[in-house]
Amino acid sequence: MRQQAWHVLPWLDVAKVLEVHPGKGLSVKEVQRRLQEIGRNVLAAKKGIHPVFLFLGQFKDFMVLVLLAATVVSGLLGEIADAVTILTILIVNAILGFIQEFRAERSMESLRSLTAPEARVLREGLEQRIPAADLVPGDIVLLEAGDRIPADIRWIQAVNVQVEESALTGESHPVGKTIAPLLDELTPMADRRNMGYMGTSVVNGRGAGVVVATGMDTEMGVIAGMIQSVEEEETPLQKRLAELGKWLVLISVLVCVAVVVTGILRGEDFYKMFFTGVSLAVAAIPEGLPAIVTVALAVGVQRMVKRQAIIRKLPAVETLGCATVICSDKTGTLTQNEMTVRQIYSDGRKVTVSGQGYDPKGDFHGADPEKEKDPLHAGLVIAALCNNATLTKKGVKVAGLFRSKGNDAPWGIEGDPTEGAILVAAAKAGIWREVLERKQERIGELPFDSDRKRMSVVYQTKQGRRAYVKGAPDKIVQLCRQELTSEGVVELSSLRRQNIMRANDEMARHALRVLAVAEKPLAESEPLGEQIEQELTFVGLLGMIDPPRSSAVKAIKVCRRAGIKPVMITGDHRLTAEAVGHELGILRGNGGVISGEELERMSDRDLSERVRDVSVYARVTPKDKLRIVRAFKSRGQVVAMTGDGVNDAPAVKEADIGVAMGMTGTDVTKEASSMVLGDDNFATIVAAVEEGRGIYDNIRKFIRYLLSCNLGEVLTMFLATLVGLPLPLLPIQILWVNLVTDGLPAMALGVDGAEPEIMSRPPRVPGESIFARGLASKIGIRGTMIGLGTLFVFVAALFMGVNMLGARTMAFSTLVFSQLFHVFDCRSEERGIFEVGLFTNPYLVGAVLISTIMQLSVVYLPPLQAIFKTAALHSWQWILILCVAGGPSVLIGFVRLFKSSWQGKTSIAKG
């Protein structure tokens, strides 16, 4: 039944196909048979993972397995505190990973919660209320305003029915429904006015429909299936950390084996060398790295919450930072989601409507249509009367002056946003429907219909009956034979028709949605029907727009400066989408727009080639959005996708970073996303990009710090063993260095501030290594300097007659303070310590002070001296230690400061 084109069949034929009597419904016996054959009306959940296994799965990561081994080793070495620290880090990270994955599994639950729990049906001639899950194809469902449609239906009765379908089809206003069949089987879902879909809501009128699809066969079920079919993949950060972990383990194992083998060959004790090698392995693997990554991301999350961005998955912060494309829905994110009339055309002239009102040539005061002959005024009267919306203040309906005295409450609209915008435009001219209706009464209505594309009302006036009509300009103009002008009613000549349609096209090119208004006097005996809409008198055009957010325009400029491609994906028609794209700055020059119809004819390969040049996609479906995201990803782009409705959820989940709207977004989209915008503002995404870039920089900072320090430790031991020196460090001292320097200072780097020009550089290449842009050489050079410096102090101490205990203490302290000085170098890859400022990160200063106190305690407190095999040092020893440890940082800092100053002077001289 799913493949049947129900919208092209007359509703009686639909009933015949489904073998149901429209006036009686199905029998109980037939319902039971269909339930057994087709199944219940529920969205099938993808078989989830048991929470216990989900939690245990957090320990399958390669890096985590190595760290678990390191924990066991630390325990065997008697370093219980170190073992407990490592284990605690692993458990905390496992809990965080479990929470993230568990919440992602709830996406399907959220989608199911959108469906109606109960339904009102007609069975065996009786009206009854049943669980929506028990519906079957062929059931007759009764609906009225406020009901949520429980399954996909074909309307068989519709009395002024309007349905809010924005969450499913992208329509920004309620859609009027009809029972008439459509002609085209390929009619887009958004234009199937005789169909109703599961999860959408009836906002006006009453009607009945026959169920044509249930459960996973519904349109919502298809979307649910697409969400399930999207495979999760690792973020760039996760991939790089996995790569880093494997390399570190490989290198550390090779080096440690070399140290152990070399020592044994030189006659060292096997047991002693084994534990030395194990200690080096523990030191070589930065067990603090996962915790520091988590801290850096968590700090970014806290900053983003203050900027209205709520992060659901920690890695999303980093992923957004390397985004190269941002695909965004138009309504509410790039625009204000508030329809506003901007232009009115009548009698060959165009009037602009501002926030304050009009500047027309005619007189717009008063509201008596029998005295006012100006066509512009007459058009606003028609628009106000052919309208079912209401203006409110504090929820109270208001009729009177637009600026009512004594009531400063904000204005609101009850009903359709488009009709509300028209009412506001009329009210600015002093025209109020409630005032007009004191002299005339509505006696009939023909609701808006997608086939007719118009709405008509009939009023009884003192002069007789009068029909007022509004609708699509091309349809209305075809029905008109005359035009109202300032000179009176004249024949609607071909030239006048051309002028009207030219004005319509010009408005559309300026992103205006255009409605035409017309009227016709009726005979008292003329029946209410579509014949009243023939031979109308054209009165005017009203052009309205959902204005762009000013913040979005600025954010798009920042995106371009940052090397990010902004893309608008919308359900609007091509002409409107193109105009909005130009106004926002997303579209520059000609071209760059593709419609849903063009996408249908395009292969995935062709689309992949075109995405580079296209910035606006119009009149698209959920499947189109998914294809667009996949096309970008196939070209190696890191894609961010914003969305609010259920129709956006598959694409949001497929994107590298899914961004949901917090104010207007559906639960399913939020659950499928990685980040939620609290203010539904495109500019907030740009703030997230900035935070993401800064956080990735911070991750590089502490990777540079940790690895260069660990390399220095390994080289110290390896070179000493290689040249036949005594071991400069004991295993317990190696573990202490690892604990003191890898902890707080590295974490403090994770909260460092962003570089000043971070949003003026292009995004990172998605596939680049974490060691790209010279990071590997920086780590190698500084690690070598730390190792050689430590060995130099150790050898110099022995040469000057210092005993082995004192020499090892000096080497031990040199290694610690070399790393504490180096942490200030790691704050910037381009600037030195004096340019960045020593005290601009108070957390880092505090961390270094704590580490310094810890190291001095080990050197000078007798109980700790016994444990760590250290001795108190003299002042001359400290001078040597600090010169060797801090000399490189100070020297490099002065060189970079001089270089920066010289470049600045050269730039000024050239200027």
Answer yes or no: are the C-beta atoms of 554 and 522 closer than 8 Å. Answer: no
DSSP 277-330: HHHHHHHHS-TTHHHHHHHHHHHHHHHHHHTTEEESSTHHHHHHHT-SEEEEES
Q: Find the catalytic residue in 152, 329, 624, 697.
A: 329
Under 8 Å between Cβ of 669 and 645: yes
**Angle, alpha carbons 78-80-83 (nearest 5°):** 110
End-to-end CA distance of the chain: 75
Q: For residue 247, what is the DSSP state?
A: H
3-state secondary structure 308-320: CEEECCCHHHHHH
Measured CA to CA in angstroms, residue 455 lies from 471, 472, 585, 845 at distances of 6, 10, 35, 71
Q: Which two tokens stand for residue 595?
A: 């419609």
Q: What is the DSSP annotation of 731-793?
A: HHHHHHHHHHHHSHHHHHHTTPPPPTTGGGSPPPPTT--TTTTTHHHHHHHHHHHHHHHHHHH
Lookup: tokens for 679 = 């203010």
CB burial readout 802-839, b (16+ within 10 A) else e:
beeebbbbbbbbbbbbbbbbbbbbbbbeebbbbebeee
For 861, the token pair is 């407190």
Torsion of Cα atoms, 517 then 521 then 526 then 529, to 10°: 0
Tokens (6 digits) for 817: 């303070």
DSSP tally for the chain: helices H, then strands E: 33, 27
Instruction: Single out the residue of 429, 424, 428, 403 nearest to residue 413, CA to CA.
Output: 424
- Residue 119's SS3 state is strand
Torsion sign over Cα 607, 612, 618, 620 = positive
- 329 flagged as catalytic: yes
Instruction: Give dist(CA 438, CA 403) in Å, integer.
Output: 21
Q: Are 375 and 539 in contact (CB under 8 A)?
A: yes
What radius of gyration, in Å, describes the C-alpha atoms of the chain?
36
Q: Which two tokens stand for residue 191?
A: 């234009």
> Distance of CA 388 to CAs 341, 441, 442, Å?
17, 14, 11
| DSSP code string of 37-61 | HH--SSPPPPPPPPHHHHHHGGG-S
Only one residue has tokens 């957090």, namely 58
Rounded CA-CA distance 137/819 in Å is 72
The CB-side HSE value for 235 (13 A sphere, CA atoms) comes to 21
Q: DSSP letter string over 675-730?
A: EEETT--HHHHHHHHHHHHHHHHHHHHHHHHHHHHHHHHHHHHHHHHHHTPPPSS-
Contact of 885 with 817, CB cutoff 8 Å: yes
Residues with Cβ < 8 Å from 145, sequence gap 6 or more? 202, 203, 204, 205, 206
Lookup: tokens for 619: 């009149």
Q: Which residue numbers are catalytic? A: 329
